[in-house]
């Protein structure tokens, strides 16, 4: 994967994660926020891991 495709994939996944995160918050404030935070943390860790492993 070159840098351009990687950047587009990251932007798309950020947008989809953001939409999913907002849906969870509005569905149920307490449980949704907890699950959303967990997913967001895992997602960010994965982004950091994938960006460092490709260099």
Residue-level pLDDT at 12: 81
Domain ranges, ordered by start, for the chain: 3-54
User: Residue 14's pLDDT is what?
Assistant: 82
Contacts of 24 (CB under 8 A, 6+ apart): 32, 33, 35, 36, 39
Contact predicate 28/34, CB 8 Å: no
Q: Which of 22-31, 34-43, 46-55 has the lowest mean pLDDT?
A: 22-31
pLDDT attached to residue 28:
64
Residue 29's pLDDT is 64
CB-count exposure of residue 40 (10 Å: 0-12, 13-18, 19+): middle
Top pLDDT among 52 and 29 is at 52
Q: What is the pLDDT of residue 32?
A: 66
């Amino acid at each position: 994967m070159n840098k351009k495709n990687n950047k587009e994939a990251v932007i798309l996944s950020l947008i989809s994660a953001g939409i999913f995160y907002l849906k969870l918050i509005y569905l149920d404030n307490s449980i949704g926020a907890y699950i959303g935070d967990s997913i967001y943390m895992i997602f960010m860790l994965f982004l950091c891991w994938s960006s460092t492993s490709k260099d």
